[in-house]
Amino acid sequence: MRFKDKVSFIFGAGPSSPGWSNGKAVSVLLAREGAKIFALDFSAENLAPTVEAIQSEGGTCVTHTADVTSQSDIQAAVAACMKKWGRIDILFNNVGLQSLGGPEELEEEVWDRLMNANVKSMFLTCKHVLPVMTAQKSGVIINNSSMAAISFLYPSIAYSSCKGAVDAFTKNLAVQYAGKGVRVVSVRPGLMATRASRLA
């Protein structure tokens, strides 16, 4: 029960295909350790398996739908969490889109869509969660990066660029907010054999 009564605000908490995902796994593990989960996703349908897994083990999970690229949606989500529990102890930025190809193959609108979903989203969530954490003088922000930020895995220029930006974003925030009681870190998952990848 290392996270007993800690409020975890998790974007991308639902799997987009049957089985496990980063967001579902983190949500369930935190709930097992006593955290209260405020699970967010673009789709309520995506959140259903996460809620079921947490509640089947006696954990606490509240859901909220939001577009992570929409400032008004994020503001509404933060307000809803604060109304429910009055604090946010952990922010997990897990939303991420992928697209294959280099500059010649990739369309401009795809580049923009990935930058919005993978980078701008973290700017917006931090913009509205950091005031809560600094007022508490405590909190942890976890940004989901990737080994693609520092290694060539396959041609994915937009995704790799996004994750490199996430690393830089994280380092900047970590230094800026260290003295305010807020810890900011990124994690770099590698390739994972999910059900979706096996079907691809």
Q: Check if 159 is active-site.
A: yes
Assigned domain for 11 exists? yes
The whole-angstrom separation of Cα 18 and Cα 57 is: 19
Assigned domain for 41 exists? yes
Q: Dump pLDDT digits (tens) for 22-71.
A: 889 999 999 999 999 999 999 999 999 999 999 999 999 999 999 999 99
Give the CA count within 13 Å in the CB-facing half-sphere of 41.
23
Per the CB < 8 A criterion, the answer to whether 142 and 186 are in contact is: yes
Per-residue pLDDT band for 150 (boundaries 50, 70, 90) equals: confident
Which are the contacts of 179, defined by CB distance < 8 A and separation ≥ 6?
Answer: none
Helices (H), the chain: 22-32, 44-56, 71-85, 108-115, 121-136, 157-177, 195-199
pLDDT (0 to 100) of residue 15: 84
Active-site pick, 159, 162, 173, 186:
159
Assigned domain for 2 exists? no
Assigned domain for 157 exists? yes
Assigned domain for 1 exists? no
Whether residue 189 is predicted with pLDDT greater than 90 in this model: the reply is no
pLDDT (0 to 100) of residue 193: 64
CB atoms within 10 A of CB 173: 21
DSSP string, 145-161: --GGGTS--SSBHHHHH
Q: Which two tokens stand for residue 147?
A: 């080994």
Expressed as residue numbers, the domain containing 175 is 7-199
Q: What's the one-letter identity of residue 147? A: M
pLDDT (0 to 100) of residue 192: 64
Assigned domain for 80 exists? yes
Per-residue pLDDT band for 200 (boundaries 50, 70, 90) equals: very low
Q: Dump pLDDT digits (tens) for 126-149.
A: 999 999 999 999 999 999 988 888
Per-residue pLDDT band for 197 (boundaries 50, 70, 90) equals: very low
Across the range 177-190, mean pLDDT stands at 91
Mean predicted lDDT score pLDDT of the chain: 92
Which are the contacts of 89, defined by CB distance < 8 A and separation ≥ 6?
Answer: 3, 6, 7, 8, 35, 136, 138, 139, 140
Assigned domain for 188 exists? yes
The whole-angstrom separation of Cα 145 and Cα 158 is: 13
Domain count, the chain: 1
Q: By C-alpha distance, which of 42, 39, 66 is closest to 52?
A: 39
Question: What's the predicted TM-score (pTM) here?
Answer: 0.90
What is the CATH number for 90? 3.40.50.720
pLDDT (0 to 100) of residue 84: 97
Bridge-based pairing of strands 139-144 and 182-187 is parallel
The whole-angstrom separation of Cα 37 and Cα 35 is: 6
The whole-angstrom separation of Cα 17 and Cα 27 is: 16
